[in-house]
Structure 1
Amino acid sequence: MAYVLQVDFTMNGPFGDEMAAAFSGLAQSINEEEGFMWKIWTESPETNEAGGIYIFETKETAQKYLDMHTKRLAGFGITGVNAKIMAINPKLSDITKAPSLK
C-alpha cells in the first residue's frame, strides 16, 4: 500500500517560474529519497503558502522524509509546517484517474 504525505507552510516566495528555477536542484534530490514515488508541487502566492503532495511506498519512508524535510525547512527559517500522512485507497483512486501506484 502506498502513502500520501501532504505538506504545506507559509513562504514569502519565490513562486512560479522563479520557484522552479530556485528549487530545481531540490526537486532532483527528492527523486533520490528512499521510498519516494512522485510529488506534486503546490503554491499560492496570494496567501504566501507552498508545499506539496508526495507519494511514498511505505508509511515509514514518508515519516522519515517528513522528519528530514521539516528540519531542512527550519534551516531556511520556515516553521509551522502542516503535514499529515495517510494511506491511499488504490481501488477508489484508480476509478478517479489517479496516477498508477504500481
Structure 2
Amino acid sequence: MATIFKVSYTYTADPAEWAKAYTEERARSFLDVPGLVWKLWLDEPEQRQSGGLFLFATRADAEAYAASPRGQKAKSNPALSDVRMEIFDVRDEMSRITHGPIPPAVAPINGAA
C-alpha cells in the first residue's frame, strides 16, 4: 500500500536566504531514496514554515526513510523548531477518484522494487 511521510517545521532564516537552498541538485539527491515514488516540497515563507510530502511505495519504505539519518536530519537541525513527522497509509482508490497523484501501479522513482 502506498504510504505518505509528512515532515513540517518552522525555520529561523530569512525566507529569501532559505529559498536559496532549494536547488536542482538538492532535489535530484532524492532520486536515490529507496521506495520513494515522489516528493512534494512545501513552503510558507510568511510563517517561515516548510516541509515535504513523500509518497513511498510501501509503509516499510516510509518507516525506513523516517528512521534513517537523512529522515531524522530536521530533528537535529538547530535552525528548525516545531518539527513534526508523520506517516499515513494512502487510501489509493479514494485518492485516484479525487485525482490524487497516485499512479495505478505505485513504483519507486529509482526503479527498485
The count of corresponding residues between Structure 1 and Structure 2 is 101
What's the CA shift for 1:69? 3.1
The answer for the alignment partner of 2:89 in structure 1 is 87
Deviations 1:41-93 (A, max 9, x none): 11111111100111001112112212233432245423542011111111100
When Rg is computed on C-alpha atoms for both structures, the one with the higher figure is 2
The alignment partner of 1:31 has SS state of helix
Q: AA paired with 2:99? A: K
The answer for the alignment partner of 1:35 in structure 2 is 35
The alignment partner of 1:81 has SS state of strand
Distance 1:33 1:14 in 2: 29
What's the CA shift for 1:11? 1.2
Q: AA paired with 1:49? A: Q
What's the CA shift for 1:31? 1.3
TM-score, with length taken from structure 2: 0.75
Question: How much is the aligned-residue C-alpha RMSD, in angstroms?
Answer: 2.3
